[in-house]
Every structure is written in structure tokens, then in C-alpha cells.
Amino acid sequence: MAKKKGMPREEVIQVVPASAGTPERKAIFDRTAIALRDKGDHNLSKEATMAKRKSMTMDEALQVILASNGDNPFRDLLEFMVQSALEFEMSEHLGAGPYERNEDRLGYRSGYRARPFTTAVGDLELLIPQDRDGTFSTTLFERYQRSDKALALSMMEMYVQGVSTRKVAAITETLCGRSFSSQQVSKLAKGLDEKVTEWRNRPIEGDHSYIIVDARYEKVRRGGRVISQGVLIVMGINGDGYREILDVKIADTENETTWSDLLRDLKRRGLSGVQLVISDDHEGIKAAVNRYFQGASWQRCQVHFTRNVLRLAGKGEKRELHADLRAIFDSQDIETLNYRITEIVRKWEARKPKVAEKIDEEIVDTLACFCFPPSHRKRIRTTNCVERLNQEIKRRTRVVRIFPNQASALRLIATLAMEQSEEWAERRYLDIGLLEEWAPLDDQLAAAVLEMTEVDSLQE
């Protein structure tokens, strides 16, 4: 049996990114990092460990790890980067890098404490920097582990209630251990639920010109039965052009009443300035939008519409039909738009009358995006911008399969939505300032589409 190794001593690595630039910038990035621990199957080669003791650029450090004999280089890379991020965060907190002489520094380092961090690529063994005054607290784990806590709680609840499968039980024991009780589960759930409730009731500030609404379904246990419940999601683009999830709600059904309740609550919290709502062709959504956002336009998701039309075509015709619809959606002027609609309807009328009829009668619902600035159109013509969130929800809920209760489902999905909003806050999605200068009646294509939608509304 291999001899168990103790905690390795702290090794100093000066990491200097190639883009460090000024000496001040270099000083910030010069920091103490911790060599990856030698334990079990989580080892770096001798060469890699020796190289990490030297001053090196970030690129060189990454190359050393990739060239090592470690069983999981992705985990090693992530561990190295996260440890470096912690060191940078401490430098920012103190106003000085390691060993930096600075009269303006706010404190001094005082060792480290061990902290495991579970990620999708494996467990990271990190050392959290500490300062002498005990004022340093990293926000890294709080942001990225809320959803992990919610996922673990869902499985713990199933485990405690005796409804977990062998697979779920094994995962739960790995993540949480075996020594937890229903009281511990309740205590942990309460802490997360308070944050979810606070987030779902936060005031909505400023105008949100565009909102996107979508729904998916999850299986939940209730009253001894497994039922399908709707997950209603509303995303908005605020006045600064950033996306954010405005709310997530679990409902028994997806109808006008549930959507009306959700939109009414959003207005109560301050949602205003809505000019366009993007969704699929759900009568409940349309009715709720007409009721609570009078004057706002409705854009039918072009992807959903395309799928609906393709179902009416034969297998060998789908690619051609898809290209025809894309040509309509990509039109740059009113002459091209009218010509393509007319010709495509005529073409399919002889081959698939139902396809031609659906395009002729419903294509106008997908054109509202043309009434807004050209640079916005591709990003407001579908509900695709919430697709990443839906994929992440699917990835997590696939582990649980059946939630033990509605609160568990809301807890996990809402924490994922919170994290997605935080990620979106780092990058602007649209230049909303263009809307202030936009006059649709001065744009030939926008004016024509406005007239088409008004005529269509009168006919209804």
C-alpha cells in the first residue's frame, strides 16, 4: 500500500502573464500560488512540480500542466487558474501584491486555509488566502455553488424521503456524505429559499424594452403521484442593453391565468417600458400580453414557427422548406420580403397546400422584429437567447429526473437563473440607445410591416 503523503509545503510561483505590461500590473499578477496537492490519483509529474517553482508566464505554466502526467489536465488547469484568481482577489482586497512594499496597502497576508471545491471536471483542492485582520472573504464560491447546493438538496430530499434511485443515492452520498438528516436538509433548504425569495421579489428598475417569455416542463411528485409542471421563465433586456432573468415560476398548467399572474406580478415589481414581447404561439401568453402590456408588439419566435411548418412537409422536403423560410426572415427591404413570401407560397401551394396556407396566414406574426432597429432584429426574432439557460436546466434536472416537491424544483431552477443573470451582466447584449433615435415610420420596411400587422389585427 502506498504511503499516505502529508500536506505539501507552500510553494511560491510568480506568474507573469505575457500581457502584464507595466511594472505595477506585473506586481499585481506576481503572487503566491499553491502547487497541486500530491494525493491519491491527483498528482503532477516531478518535472511539472519543479517547473512550478520558477517564475514563468501564464502560457508557460499552462503548457507545463498539459505536458505533465496528471490523469486530469483540465482539472489541474482549472485548479491552477482558480487559485490564481483567489490570489488576485486577495491582492485587490489588500491593495498590494505578495511581498510588495506599498504605503497604501490595507493589510497583510496571514497564511491559508484548505477548501475543496467540487466542479464538473473534478474536485479542486484550493487554499484560501487569509489576512491578519480576518476581513477577506472571497465571493467565488457563493456565485458558482448556489446551483450545486440546490441540486444536492434535491437529491438529499429524495434520499431522506426514501424515493431516490440507486444512482441518485450514490451521487448524493458522494456529494453530501451519509451523515445528514431531514433536519439538516430543512435548515439548508431554508437558507437557499430565503435567497431565492429575495431574488424573485426584488424591484425591477428602469425600462425593459424587450422581454422574452418561454416555458419548459419538469416532473414533480405531489400527493403520491408524479405530475408534469410548467416552468415559466421571463427574460428582459434592460435600459443598458444587458439581459437578466426577471422571474421564474412553477405552475400546474401553462395557460392565460398562470401567465397573467406572472406578468401582473412583474408589473407590480416595476416592469415598464415594454415595446416587444417574444414568445412561441401560445394563446395564453398572447392574451396575457394584450392585457398587461397594451401597446406592446408581439413577435412569434421564428424558430418555433419554422418547426411548426416543417412538421407539415415530407422528410425529403424539410431542408428546402427551411431554406425558403430563412430567406423570408433574412429579407432586407419590403420589395424582397413581399416577393419572397408570394413566390414561396405559390411554390408550395402546388406541392403541399397546408404548408402554403400556414405560411400565408401566419408568417406575419414572425415579422414584428422588422419594426425595430436593424442591428436588433436578429437578436429579438427568436427565444434562442434563453436557450443556454434551458440547456443548463435540462443538464441539472436530468440528474434528479423527478423532483421530490415543487419547492425543490423552484429552488434549483431559480438559482440557475440567478447565476445566468450574473453571467449576462458581464457583457452587453444590445445597444438600446438606438431605440431612442429609432422612428419606424421613417424606415420603409418597418412602416410596411407595421401596416401589415395592423391589418392582420383588424381581421382577427
pLDDT of 453 reads 76
**51-65, 112-126, 258-272, 436-450: least confident range:** 51-65
26-40, 77-91, 93-107, 203-217 — most confident range = 203-217
Phi, psi of 29 (to 5 degrees): -85, -15
| Strand segments (E) across 338-450 | 402-403
Taking residues 280-293, what's their average pLDDT? Answer: 92
Pairwise pLDDT comparison (49 vs 129), residue with the higher score: 129
Q: Is pLDDT above 50 for 160?
A: no
Taking residues 149-170, what's their average pLDDT? Answer: 54
42-56, 78-92, 201-215 — most confident range = 201-215
pLDDT of 183 reads 65
Q: Give, in order, the Cα–Cα distances in Å from 183 to each of 44, 189, 190.
A: 41, 10, 11
- 3-class state of residue 21 by DSSP: coil
DSSP 77: H
Domains of the chain by residue range: 23-138, 139-300+396-429, 302-382+435-460
Q: What is the pLDDT of residues 213-266, one digit of tens each?
A: 999 999 998 888 999 999 999 999 999 999 999 999 999 888 899 999 999 999
Closest CA to 76 of 109, 113, 39, 26: 39
pLDDT of 366 reads 96
Taking residues 139-162, what's their average pLDDT? Answer: 58
- List, in order, residues 6 or more apart from 23 with CB less than 8 Å away: none
Q: Is pLDDT above 60 for 4?
A: no
pLDDT of 42 reads 36
- Mean pLDDT, the chain, rounded, equals 78
DSSP 78: H
Name the percent of the chain lying above pLDDT 70: 70
Closest CA to 44 of 79, 85, 17, 87: 79
Pairwise pLDDT comparison (166 vs 265), residue with the higher score: 265
pLDDT of 407 reads 86
Pairwise pLDDT comparison (460 vs 427), residue with the higher score: 427
Q: Is pLDDT above 50 for 28?
A: no
pLDDT of 388 reads 79
Name the percent of the chain lying above pLDDT 90: 42
pLDDT of 281 reads 92
Pair 353, 341: CB distance under 8 Å: no
Q: Give, in order, the Cα–Cα distances in Å from 151 to each of 115, 171, 248, 311, 356.
A: 20, 11, 17, 36, 46
Phi, psi of 373 (to 5 degrees): -50, 140
Report residue 427 as a C-alpha cell: 457583457
Taking residues 427-446, what's their average pLDDT? Answer: 92
pLDDT of 149 reads 62
The CA R_g of the chain, rounded to the nearest whole Å, is: 27
Q: How far apart are CA 371 and CA 45, in angstroms?
A: 61
- List, in order, residues 6 or more apart from 438 with CB less than 8 Å away: 372, 373
pLDDT of 367 reads 96
Q: Is pLDDT above 80 for 334?
A: yes
Evaluate if pTM is beyond 0.75. no
Taking residues 390-407, what's their average pLDDT? Answer: 83
Q: How far apart are CA 95 and CA 90, in angstroms?
A: 8
Q: Where are the alpha helices (DSSP H) in 13-57?
A: 23-29, 46-52
Q: How confident is the model at residue 38 (pLDDT cuts 50, 70, 90)?
A: very low
Q: Is pLDDT above 50 for 30?
A: no
Closest CA to 257 of 291, 233, 281, 229: 291
Q: Is pLDDT above 60 for 156?
A: no
